Amino acid sequence: MSCEEMSRRPPLPPAAAPPLEDDNLLSEILLRLPPDPSSLPRASLVSKRWLGIVSDPGFSRRFRLHHRHNPPLLGFFYHVSDFEPAMDPPNRVPDPHLSSCLETLDDDRFWYLMPLGSRHGLLLTFCELWNKLLVWDPFSIDQHHLAVPPEFDLEKALVSWASGAVYRAAGDSQHFQVVLVGTETADQQHTRAIARVYSSETGGWGDIVSTPLPSKASSSTMGEFPTMITMFVTISVLVGHSLYWLLIDRSAEINTLDGILEFDLERQILAVVPVPVDIANNSLAQFQVMRAEGGGLGILSLSKFSAQLWKMETDSDGVASWMLQRTINLVKLLSTDSDIERGPPPMILGFAEYNNVVFLRTHIGVFTIQLESMQFKKVSKTLMGRYFPFESVHAAGGKRIGGGHDGAELLHNS
C-alpha cells in the first residue's frame, strides 16, 4: 500500500478503555457488590480511584436503592438504647455506631421512647413524654420529630391507637412516610379502624382513612396504647405494597385473633383480611404476619413446640383462601439444646420481614430461625421483652458509620 493510499484511510477509532478503567462501568460493577457492611470498605482499599467512587454520596444512594429489597439483618434493638449486632465479623457492626445518636437526646428522655418498628434504614419510635413520633437514621444521626395528629392524641382523642410504620416510597432515598393506625369506637356496635399518613416531602398528615371492623371485634382494640406489651405485639410487616398488623380482640380473658388489618400503600385504603379458622382462637403471642414462601401474605402460628406456616392463595375466580404450607417441629429443629423442651413453649419476640427471620424466646435464650432455609442461631441470652430487628444497607463506603474514620475499622473486627 502506497503512502498516498494510507493517508486517505480514515483514522482508527480510539481503543475502548478496559472495563475497570471506565469509571461508569466500574461504578455499575461495584453497585452489584453484596450489601454486607464490609463490601464497600473492602472495595475502598483497592485504590484511591475505587475509594473515590464508593465514597461518593450519589453512589451511596444508588447502592442503598439497588439493595433495598435484600438488606442484611444488621442486628436488633431490645430497647431504643440497646442494640445487639447480629452479623459475624467482618460484617459485625459495632454497637456504638448505631446507638450513638441517642447521645443527641436531652437528659434521659430516651427512656420514654417506645419503638414502633424500623424499615428502609429508619427507626420509628413514640415518645410518651413529648407525645411525638421520632424518626431517626442510626447511621447518620438524622432525626425528625413529628407531632401526633389530633385524632391520635392520647390525652384528647377517643381513639385507641395501636401502632405505626415507617417506609420510603420506591426509588426514593430521601423522603419517608409514616402510617399511624388505631381503632375508634362510636358505640358498642360500631368500631372502625382508622389511619393517617405523614409525608416528609409535604411536611403534613393526610386525610383520615377508615374501614369498619368485624362485628366480633366491635369491642376490640389492636392495642391499648401505651401499655408496653400491647404496643410491642403490633409491629407492622410490609408484604408487597401493603402494610399488615394483627387485629386482636381483647374483650375476653384470652386474646383472640380476629383478622389482619391491611393498609394498601398505593391505593391508600384500609381493609380487614380474615385469618384461618383453625388458628383464630389462640393467643396473640403465638402469631406473626409474614411474607410467605414465593411471595404473598403469610402467617406463622405457634402452638407449644410446633410452628405452622400458612399462605394466602387466590384461585382462578379471584377467591382467596388460606393454605397450610409447612409444619415445623421446633424441638427437632433446635435439637442441639436438649433442654429446650423442659421449659415453657417458645414465644415470638420479633420478625425481620426482608430476611424472613423470626426471633423466638426460649428458657435457654433467644434464637433466630430463617423460615425458608430453617437455619437457626442462638443470638442472645437476654430474656427481655420485644425485639426490634434492624435491616438496613450500610453504604458508608470508606467512612465509618456516622462519619469520621476509615471504614477499614469494620475489617479490623474480623
Burial class (CB in 10 A: 0-12, 13-18, 19+), 372: middle
* Spatial CB neighbours of 121, under 8 Å, sequence gap ≥ 6: 64, 71, 137, 139, 392, 393
pLDDT of residue 403: 38
pLDDT of residue 176: 95
Q: Across the chain, what does the average pLDDT equal?
A: 79
Provide the residue ranges of all domains of the chain, joining segments of one domain with +. 68-392
* CA–CA separation, 78 and 358 (whole Å): 14
Report yes or no: 150 and 182 within 8 Å, Cβ to Cβ.
Answer: no
For the entire predicted model, the pTM comes to: 0.83
* CA–CA separation, 21 and 236 (whole Å): 45
The C-alpha cell at 19 is: 472495563
pLDDT per position as a tens digit, 76-111:
887 666 788 888 899 988 764 444 555 555 555 555
* CA–CA separation, 403 and 382 (whole Å): 30
pLDDT per position as a tens digit, 387-403:
889 999 977 655 443 33
pLDDT of residue 382: 63
**Average pLDDT, consecutive stretches of 10 residues, N- to C-terminus, the chain (414 residues):** 60 62 89 94 93 92 92 84 83 63 53 81 84 83 85 68 86 90 72 91 94 62 34 70 84 68 94 83 72 91 90 87 91 73 84 93 87 88 75 68 44 52
Residue 329: CB atoms within 10 Å:
11
In this structure, the dihedral spanned by the alpha carbons of residues 74, 118, 111 and 140, taken in order and rounded to 10 degrees, is 70
Report yes or no: 379 and 23 within 8 Å, Cβ to Cβ.
Answer: no
Omega within 30 of 0 (cis) for the link into 138: no
pLDDT of residue 157: 59
* Alpha helical stretches, state H, 152-307: 228-232
* CA–CA separation, 136 and 76 (whole Å): 15
Pick the CATH number of 68-392 from 3.30.310, 2.120.10, 1.10.3470, 2.40.160: 2.120.10
Number of H helices, E strands in the chain: 9, 24
pLDDT of residue 400: 42
Q: Classify 179 as helix, strand or coil.
A: strand
pLDDT of residue 224: 38
Burial class (CB in 10 A: 0-12, 13-18, 19+), 103: exposed
b/e code 284-298 from CB counts within 10 Å (16+ = b): bbbbbbbbbeeeebb
